[in-house]
A and B are shown apart, each in its own frame.
Chain A
Amino acid sequence: MLKTYTYPKFEYRTPPEIASGQTLKVPVVVVGAGPVGLGAALDLQLQDVPVLVLDEDDTVSIGSRGVCYAKRALEILDRYGVGDAVCSKGVSWNVGRTFFREQEVYNFNLVPETDHHRPGMVNLQQYYLEEYLAARAASLPQIELRWRNKVVSVAQTGQTVTLKVETEDGFYIVEADWLIAADGARSPIRRMLDLEIDGKVFMDRFLIADVVMKADFPSERWFWFDPPFHPGQSVLLHKQTDSVFRIDFQLGWHADPEEAKKPEHVLPRIKAMLGAFDGTAREFELEWVSVYTFQCRRMGRFNHGRVLFVGDAAHQVSPFGARGANSGLQDADNLGWKLKLVIDGKAPAALLDSYSEERIFAADENLVNSTRSTDFITPKSKVSKTFRNAVLGMAKEYAFGRALVNSGRLSVPAFLIASSLNSPDEAGDTFAGRMLPGAPMDDAPVLDNGDEGWLLNKVGNRFFALYFADDPESLDAATVAGLSGLSFDGIAVQPLVISRKPGIVPGGIPVLEDLRGIAALRYDAKRGTVYLLRPDQHVAARWRTFDAAKVKVAVARATCNA
């Protein structure tokens, strides 16, 4: 098979605790150095918390696995310092074609909404993402990565989590104040703690293949329902980087995975598929092939005492919609700042319950959407297949039919509108648009001291009060004083003025210029509108007029200190 990618081999070093026999004491240990574990480590490092990361392996994910990284994940990766690497290596696509039997039933062009830093998605093999995250983590002194270090037992008391770690040189003990379990769908940590994860296995199998195209091939997503070259099943083709394409064939439950993987069975399928669209024979080579089944399930809660579950360890969905790694990164995004406040004694442990509640809300949304896609793509009864085919049959001519075609609803962040951390809008304050309390922030282009930039790169990691003005010089002394000293019990709120006109606010409050008014439009801001933003770039509260006392109350609420 062809190799477009060389797997890095991360260096194992003998842990000093093996010779010394000492227990290693750390504030936080992350188990699992996949995208979500590394994301959690990078998030905590931004919060100035040192992290130990343990992983039983010494390389990145084998095969492409996660393919699609959605806008919100890219924005989080920007905070983690790898957004540019992922976006410049990844490929974007806009044209999607949907086929039913022999016919193309429709195509779409996802022209991205302008004035956002990041696109709706980029496609990139998971191993690249992991490589960039690992390199970033390795470059930071607050993160210690230990490869080929396997956790073999775990126990927690009220105050500590104790791990026994196995290496080729022997065992040692880690005592951590907090454990983040990012050890994947089969989570050994979850099993060792005897915790449940409930849901269902989908009775279906999929063959996935990474294929290297020898000639130009359009940068498009192709989805087939019931194609002539693979009757009764579905097939997806997705472009990745380095001329590698990812192909998913639905096999059905009764297929023999070992047989299906054999090149003599895989190659004719791919050949038939690539020729089916326009009859052109295309040269390709197989790089990687695997067969998978999937489950849709989640834990009842994601925090158990001092153990916090993130990513696939906590929740698993079908792959349709790219909601696995994307939602796992949002777990890390949600958790980092909360754990920091709890570690520092600035918030009660109840704040970690809100991690569980908010991410369960998001996980359930992901489960619903990916299950609906699965039910559409792989109908399990005669009547559901009839409805599915009726929809596809009407999709070409009728807009309502197209809207019902569900070949995967791409990962979008959850609007945490029911979260107990939000402060509701005041009676009498009315807002249009979608930036309501609990919403993930919309991006907007801004000028920072004349330099072009993006709103989302200017906020995050701590609380911000975004104050909208027409002219920075127009802020009165009381407003400036109120904004400057904003904090609640040691939790500081960084003021940031966003203004149509450039200028300087007395007292050194930073100013962003909203040169085309796009931020004000997206946030439905008028002069004097204030948004309280969480460290994970979600709206916590908003007001039409600034009142420092109300902001403080909202910070207390957003940190479970109310």
Chain B
Amino acid sequence: MTLNLNPNFSEAGKRYFNAYAPGDDFYEMLLTAHRDLSDEQSELLNARLILLLANHIGDIGTLREALTIAREGV
């Protein structure tokens, strides 16, 4: 598996009439999850989320690629 860097969001059973909609759905969900949290709590939420998603992806090669790109821009 290689890291997918193209837009890739969708929800089963949902019909989209605009290409931006699924990505915007996710982004709103993400910000909603952080609502009313302190900075410290937000940091913890992000860490938990990364661990959950990393385990779901599982493939170490893909994760290595993602970590490399993420670090390049910091």
**Is the beta-carbon distance between A372 and B37 smaller than 8 angstroms?**
no
Contacts of A398 in B (CB 8 A): 5, 69
A4-44 CB contacts (< 8 Å) to partner B: none
Q: Do B7 and A403 have beta carbons less than 8 Å apart?
A: yes
What's the nearest-Cβ distance from chain B to residue A377, in Å? 13
Whether A409 pairs with B23 at a CB distance below 8 angstroms is no
CB of A381 within 8 A of chain B? Answer: yes
| Alpha-carbon distance A200/B68, docked complex (angstroms) | 41
Q: Are B39's CB and A369's CB within 8 A?
A: no
Query: Do the beta carbons of B20 and A406 come within 8 Å of each other?
Result: yes
Q: Does A227 have its Cβ within 8 Å of any Cβ on chain B?
A: no
Other-chain contact of B73, A376, A381, A393, A403 (Cβ < 8 Å): A393
Q: When the two chains form the complex, which single residue of B4, B20, B46 contacts A403, counting CB atoms closer than 8 Å? A: B20
Give complex CA distance A390, B50 in Å: 15
Residues of A within 8 A of B17 (CB): 412, 415, 434
A375 contacts which chain B residues (CB < 8 A)? 28, 31
Say whether A549 faces chain B, with CB atoms less than 8 Å apart.
no
Q: For the complex, what is the distance from the CA of A399 to the CA of B37, rounded to whole Å?
A: 30
Contact indicator B30/A387 (Cβ below 8 Å): yes
Interface assignment of B18: CB less than 8 Å from any CB of chain A: yes
- Mostly helix, strand, loop or mixed at chain A's interface? helix
The 8 A CB mask of B1-18 against A (1 = contact, 0 = none) is 000111110000001011
> Which A residues between 370 and 404 are near B, CB-CB below 8 angstroms?
372, 375-376, 381-384, 387, 390, 393-394, 398-400, 403-404
Contact with A along B40-74 (1 / 0, CB 8 A): 00100010000000000000000000000100010
Say which size band chain B's interface belongs to. 20 to 34
- Please report the C-alpha to C-alpha distance between residue A372 and residue B52 in the assembled complex, in whole angstroms: 25
How near does chain A come to B10, taking the closest CB pair, in angstroms?
12
A458–B61 alpha-carbon span in the complex (Å): 57
Q: Which residue on B lies nearest to A403, using beta carbons?
A: B7
Verify B27–A372 contact, CB threshold 8 A.
yes
Given contacts A381-B34, A383-B34, A412-B17, contact A399 B27 (CB under 8 A): no
Report Cα–Cα, A368/B20, bound state, in Å.
13
Nearest B residue to A401 via CB reads B5
Instruction: Select one of A394, A404, A434 contacting B27, CB under 8 A.
Output: A404
**Residue on B nearest A399 in the bound complex, by CB:** B6
- A14, chain B: closest CB distance, angstroms: 51
- Whole-angstrom distance between the Cβ of A368 and the nearest chain B Cβ: 8
CB distance from B48 to the nearest CB of A (A): 14
Assembly CA distance A538 to B5 (angstroms): 37
Which residues of B does A touch, CB under 8 Å? 4-8, 15, 17-20, 23-24, 27-28, 30-31, 34, 37, 39, 42, 46, 69, 73
CB-defined A-B contacts under 8 Å, sample of 10: A372-B24, A372-B28, A376-B27, A381-B42, A382-B42, A383-B34, A387-B31, A393-B73, A400-B7, A434-B17
Q: A387-B31, A400-B4, A404-B27 are in contact. List 17 more A-B contacts (CB 8 A).
A: A372-B27, A372-B28, A375-B28, A381-B34, A383-B31, A383-B37, A384-B31, A390-B73, A398-B5, A399-B7, A400-B6, A400-B7, A404-B24, A406-B20, A406-B24, A409-B24, A415-B17
